[in-house]
Amino acid sequence: MKTSILLADDQALLRETFRLLIDTCDDLMVVAEAADGAAAVELARAHRPDIVVMDIQMPGVDGLAATAAICGDRELDATRVLILTMFETDEFVAQALRVGASGFVGKDIGAGELLAAIRTVARGDALLSAGATRALITRFLATAEPAAHLVPPGRLARLTPREREIMTLAAEGRSNEEIAQVLAIRPLTVRTHVHHAMAKLGARDRAQLVVIAYQSGLLRPARSSSDRTPVIPPPAPSAAP
């Protein structure tokens, strides 16, 4: 089955370029295009695409507001948003993750990188690099947020020690392969634990799991990246694969 995609960008030429690129792939297809955020929300509800490739800067309802509306709609739980922007500032990216985006790419991205990004988000993985995203999370995601955004402490108690450990490492920006190397387990085992943690915490994807880790206090970044103090419980022997 093909991954269905909604393109949301106010530049018609860019949308056409992306459509032509995506249509060359056997596993991807564009189902609709939107020129502003309001149309993106409306079309997402009409087509229920797997992925929305969303520009941030659009007239009227911008991409962040549209992302918040899509990610906040329970009928669109299966739809994931990949932010596309010329403004890859930490603040824009932090806001995008807070409202539910699954990843972000710059408009200067190459064709192959864009397709890889779409497939990554479609798999349910967050498009979060280990370098830039560590700085992003440390600087912004740990700032105070309204209480409604926090996960009740009791929800974290549902996690096994291994799930908490892997969730913490993921929140530091480590990939499944890096976590597997640290813990001497298989990447598939890491992925399984990540998905179990997502299910228990009601996280739609890995990006939201990372936000929950910081907002809940599971990981508490200090003012500098060199003195962060991760809250990692020792894994119980029974949690080992």
The pTM of this model reads 0.66
Which amino acid appears at position 192 of this protein?
T
pLDDT in tens, 12-60: 999 999 999 999 999 999 999 999 999 999 999 999 999 999 998 898 9
Do residue 198 and residue 166 come from a single domain? Answer: yes
Is the pLDDT at 201 greater than 50, yes or no?
yes
Domain assignment present for 136: no
Q: What is the pLDDT of residue 138?
A: 53
Look at residue 167 and tell me if it is in a domain: yes
Whether the per-residue pLDDT at 226 is higher than 50: the answer is no
Q: Would you state the torsion angle of the CA atoms of residues 157, 163, 166, 171, taken in this order, to the nearest 10 degrees? A: -40
Question: Could you tell me the pLDDT band of residue 202, with boundaries at 50, 70 and 90?
Answer: confident
Q: What is the pLDDT of residue 128?
A: 58
What was the pLDDT predicted at 239? 42
Residue at which a domain ends, from 69, 94, 127: 127
Place of tokens 């298989």: 186
Confidence band of 124 (pLDDT split at 50, 70, 90): confident
- 220 vs 59, higher pLDDT: 59
CATH number assigned to the domain comprising residue 112: 3.40.50.2300
User: Whole-angstrom Cα distance, residue 19 to residue 145?
Assistant: 37
Look at residue 144 and tell me if it is in a domain: no
Domain boundary among the residues 79, 95, 127 is at: 127
Kindly state whether residue 142 falls inside one of the protein's structural domains. no
My answer on whether 155 and 123 are in the same domain is no
Question: What whole-number distance in Å separates Cα of residue 113 and Cα of residue 96?
Answer: 20
Q: Do 47 and 110 fall into the same domain?
A: yes
Domain CATH number, residue 211? 1.10.10.10
Q: Are residues 14 and 122 in the same domain?
A: yes
> Mean pLDDT, to the nearest integer, of 53-76?
92
Tell me what pLDDT residue 223 has: 47
Q: Domain residues for 224? A: 151-239
**Residue 116 pLDDT greater than 70, yes or no:** yes
Residue 134 placed within a domain: no
Beta strands in the chain (DSSP E): 3-8, 28-34, 51-55, 80-85, 103-106, 219-220, 229-230
Q: Is residue 102 located within the same domain as residue 9?
A: yes
Cα 202 from chain centroid?
14
Over range 96-103, report the average pLDDT.
81
146 found inside a domain: no
Residue 140 covered by a domain: no
Domain count, the chain: 2
Banded model confidence at residue 206, pLDDT cuts 50, 70, 90? confident
